[in-house]
Structure 1
Amino acid sequence: MADLKTQACEACRSDAPQVMGEELKQMLSEVPDWALVEKLGEQQLERTFKFKDFAQALAFTQQVGDLAESEDHHPAILTEYGKTTVNWWTHKIGGLHRNDFIMAARTDDLFSS
């Protein structure tokens, strides 16, 4: 994960390959706290982060939003009392790209700091 969190996202084209097979297994091992989920037929990375209260969850949501804007790569974020759930996937290709794993690692880094 240390390697992923230092990387920047690359511009993704609609014909970019999805992460699959052995590459998917390897990438998942680099972000072990993230679950592989399928929503509306698209694979996504999902993680719920726990906080003491709504204010902390909202502050983290803003940090993730700022990160997303800086990379022009945007997740689904659900903010609730004491938790924030983040889903990363690449809308343009309808599944997972290396960018999603980079952003998951960088989201973990935000949570750790």
Structure 2
Amino acid sequence: MTALSSQTCVPCRGSEPPLSPEEMEKMRILVDNWRIVDRGGTPKLTRSYKFSNFKAALAFTQKVGEAAEQAGHHPKLITEWGKVSVFWWTHVINGLHQNDFIMAAKTDLAYEQED
């Protein structure tokens, strides 16, 4: 299978079913630093990234935001001093889709490129 970070998100119109718990876990293994959390009945992928200061955290937030805008798929981003928390899910299906895992992998790649 092609690396997730090199895949492209497909438009999600809302008629697609969310991934089943089994499918979510198979995909989550491909982005092993991410966790699946339930927030208000909606499964979301989440991960926090550490930085040495606020400026670096803010730059990473901007980089993730630009990738999200390019893909047409947008996360929840929480930027703090030395930390950025990212949450991916597909709003229109109120759950997780393959796009969320693609974007999680792209987020990891952006973090690796920060070094």
TM-score by length of 2: 0.94
The equivalent of 1:80 in structure 2 is 80
List aligned pairs for 1:26-45, cutoff 5 A: 26-45=26-45
What's the offset of the Cα at 1:22? 2.6
Work out the number of aligned pairs and report it.
113
2:15 pairs with 1:15? yes
In structure 2, runs of 5+ residues without a counterpart are none
TM-score by length of 1: 0.96
Judged with a 3 Å threshold, the aligned counterparts in structure 2 of structure 1 residues 10 and 20 are, in CA distance, closer, same or farther, namely same
Distance 2:63 2:33 in 1: 19
The equivalent of 1:66 in structure 2 is 66
Distance 1:58 1:51 in 2: 9
What's the offset of the Cα at 1:2? 6.2
In structure 1, runs of 5+ residues without a counterpart are none
What's the offset of the Cα at 1:29? 0.4
Letter in 1 for 2:37: V
Distance 1:12 1:52 in 2: 36
Distance 1:46 1:25 in 2: 14
4+ runs deviating over 3 angstroms: none
In percent, how many aligned pairs have the same letter?
Answer: 48
